[in-house]
Every structure is written in C-alpha cells, then in structure tokens.
Amino acid sequence: MRATVLATGGAGYIGSHVAAALLAAGHQVVILDDFSNSRPEVIDRINAIGPGRAVLVRGDVRDGAILDALFGAHRIDAVIHLAGLKAVGESVEKPLLYQKVNVGGAVALFEAMLRHGVMRLVFSSSATVYGMPERMPVTEDARLGTTNPYGRTKLAIEGIIDDVAVAHRDFAAISLRYFNPVGAHASGTLGEDPRGVPNNLFPYIAQTAAGVRERVRVFGDDYPTRDGTGIRDYIHVVDLAEGHVAALEHLLRGDDVEGRNRPINLGCGKGTSVLEALAAFRRAVGTDIPFQVVARRPGDVPEVVADPGLAEQLLGWRAKRGLAQMCADHWAFQRRRMRELG
C-alpha cells in the first residue's frame, strides 16, 4: 500500500525523521513547513537519505489558501500533523500564541482536510496530557489533565479530533502520545538542534559534552525514585518515526478505525533516571560530563513511563533501540553540528 502523505512540520526534529521513515517505507511525502523552528536544508538532507524525494510546500499551516492549493495539487491520502510550537516555558509566557498556532493551525488544517475529502489523520500529541499520572506505567485510559498552556493545546486538539470523528463517521484518526524523544538518524544528518539554551535533558547533556555548556544541572535528587532523580521513558526518534508509519498504515488498512480518534502511547516502557542517562551518555562520549545537583524544576513530576502495550497490540510496533543507541546517535549528530559550525 503506497500512500501520499502530507507531513506538516516535516522539517522539524521529529517530522524530518517521520519523513525519512515514510520514504524508507515506500510512501510519497509532501512537507508543509514555515521554517519557524527549522531550516530549509533539512529537506535536502531527507532527500539525500531517500529513496525518492519529499516535495516541499513552504507556508503556514493556518493559511487556508496554501492548504487548498496543496490539496488541489497533490492527491493526499493521509495527513501527519506535527507542525506547532512545543516549548513549555514559552507557552506559559505566551499562552495566546500557543492557542493561535497550535489550536488555530489544527482547526485550519482539519477544515481543509474535510473540504478536500482527506479522512485519515495522525496527530502529534504528548505524554504531557497525563499531567501528574496516578499509576505507572501510564495507559491510554489514565485520567487526563495537564499543568501548562502547551499541554492544554494538545488536550484541546485531541478533543477537537474526537468531535470531528463523531461528526464525520468516515474520518479516522490516531493521536500519538509521545514520551521523551531523543537520539538522531543513523546517517548523522538529521537530529535535534535547539536554538538557545536547551530545556530538555538530552540536548543539554549533549551540549555539555561538546563543551558548549559548563555542566548539566540535575533538577533534584530527592524524588521518591531509585536514585532520587526524575525518571522518564526516553524513546529513540527513529523508533518514534517508525511508530508513525505503523499508525498511518493501520488507518489506511481501515479495520475498525472510522468515526474515532484513538490515543496511542509511543514509548519504550522502560524508565531511566537523570543519573542513569548521564552515565549512559558518558559511555557514548568516552569522557566525563560535569554535573551538579540543583533544586527541583517547578512543575516536574518524579516519574513518567509509558505502557506501550496498545501500540504493539494494535499497530504491531515496538521500540527496538535502547539507551546506548539513543546516546550514541544523539552524540554523533551533536559532533557533526559542532564541525559544521566550526
């Protein structure tokens, strides 16, 4: 089954790996991106990996005219919607911007899909919709609730998709709730390259190992966890990307998918503490990585680990790449970026 897939935000960290995974699986890819948080050369890098070439449409996902032209020019079978803003801290400062871009973008996109009869959607959601989970590992039926404006946009969009699927019974969607994506493509050409000071642990460790940052700040060692530091479910971005292909193909097969938006966790089901992540990264780099324990980061939870059982049962997907591979690939990309930047 060869499909033509629109990947919004396909030049971003996760989107570029999704585009590469779609090409690798034999699908055709159209990328819509405004490069507000990525660079055009990413498209060349995706196409250098191939096979085949992704087509680029430059523009804002909120622009109905661009969407109409895109859906008119390409016979799109399904959409993977990744475009959006994702910085939790920024969302606290600019809540309306997050509503405008994330919720506004989703509404404009879904309207255009319905205008053009495109009825298959995979949406980039997040484990942030679980807020402070009561039980570990987290299953998809856990109580939802989030602690920040970014998370509220993800919850809102999931709800909008639920409603669209009720109103249009031939519409079928999967909301993928990502846990903590890390790592980079094996080619070393695609990866995460955050602007400014990284918020997330892996990019911060990588920049510290590269000498850009002085030391990693470990946010609290007094949590009720095995070594006192926060535990997360890190997932290799290539595994995550392959999960999108599995979700897409599940929707296109069409068994019992219409009239619903199904949430599915994408994680490994394995928790790693901050100190364990540091130790694994140190092994990948081969040198010491300075760190210092500081106060807890407000809003952080002790532990978030996925139950990835539904993804395996429904999509036949499970993460294959372990922590050592995540660190090695993340580091290879970081080193390459440093060389490029001189």
For residues 123 and 158, what is the distance between their CA atoms, to the nearest angstrom? 8
* The entry of ligand NAD, ligand UD1, none that residue 29 binds, CB within 5 to 8 Å by partner kind: none
Which residue in the set 7, 13, 190, 223 belongs to the binding site for ligand NAD (CB under 6 A)? Answer: 13
Q: Which residue is nearest to ligand UD1 (CB)?
A: 230
Out of 46, 101, 172, 280, the only residue in the binding site for ligand NAD (CB under 6 A) is 101
Please tell me whether residue 9 binds ligand NAD under the rule CB under 6 A.
yes
Which residue from 23, 43, 54, 82 is in contact with ligand NAD, where contact means CB under 6 A?
A: 82
Given the complex with ligand NAD, which of 83 and 122 has the nearer CB atom? 83
- Select the residue interacting with ligand NAD from 28, 47, 91, 124 (CB under 6 A): 124
User: Contact between 35 and ligand NAD (CB under 6 A)?
Assistant: yes
234 is an active site residue: no
Binder of residue 83, out of ligand UD1, ligand NAD, none (CB less than 5 to 8 A by kind): ligand NAD
- Given the residues 13, 98, 150, 204, select the one marked as catalytic: 150
Three-state SS for the chain is: CCCEEEEECCCCHHHHHHHHHHHHCCCEEEEEECCCCCCCHHHHHHHHHCCCCCEEEECCCCCHHHHHHHHHHCCCCEEEECCCCCCHHHHHHCHHHHHHHHHHHHHHHHHHHHHCCCCEEEEEEEHHHHCCCCCCCECCCCCCCCCCHHHHHHHHHHHHHHHHHHHCCCCEEEEEEECEEECCCCCCCCCCCCCCCCCCHHHHHHHHHCCCCCCEEEECCCCCCCCCCCEECEEEHHHHHHHHHHHHHHHHHCCCCCCEEEEEEECCCCCEEHHHHHHHHHHHHCCCCCEEEECCCCCCCCEECECCHHHHHHHCCCCCCCHHHHHHHHHHHHHHHHHHHC
Amino acid at 2: R
Give the binding site for ligand UD1 (CB under 6 A).
88, 126-128, 151, 180, 199-201, 204, 216-219, 230, 232, 274, 297, 299-300
Query: Choosing among ligand UD1, ligand NAD, none, which partner's interface includes residue 101 (Cβ < 5 to 8 Å by kind)?
Result: ligand NAD
CA 278 to chain centre: 22
Q: Closest distance between ligand NAD and the C-beta of residue 126, in Å? A: 3
Q: Cα–Cα distance between 23 and 8 in angstroms, integer?
A: 15
User: Looking at beta carbons only, is 71 or 204 nearer to ligand UD1?
Assistant: 204
Contact between 62 and ligand NAD (CB under 6 A)? yes
60 is a contact residue toward ligand NAD (CB under 6 A): yes
- Whole-number minimum distance, CB 217 to ligand UD1, in Å? 5
Residue 63 Cβ, how far from ligand NAD at the closest point, in Å? Answer: 8
The answer to whether residue 120 forms part of the interface with ligand NAD (CB under 6 A) is no
Residues known to be catalytic: 150
* Interacting residues with ligand NAD (CB under 6 A): 9, 11-15, 32-38, 60-62, 82-84, 86, 101, 105, 124, 126, 178, 181
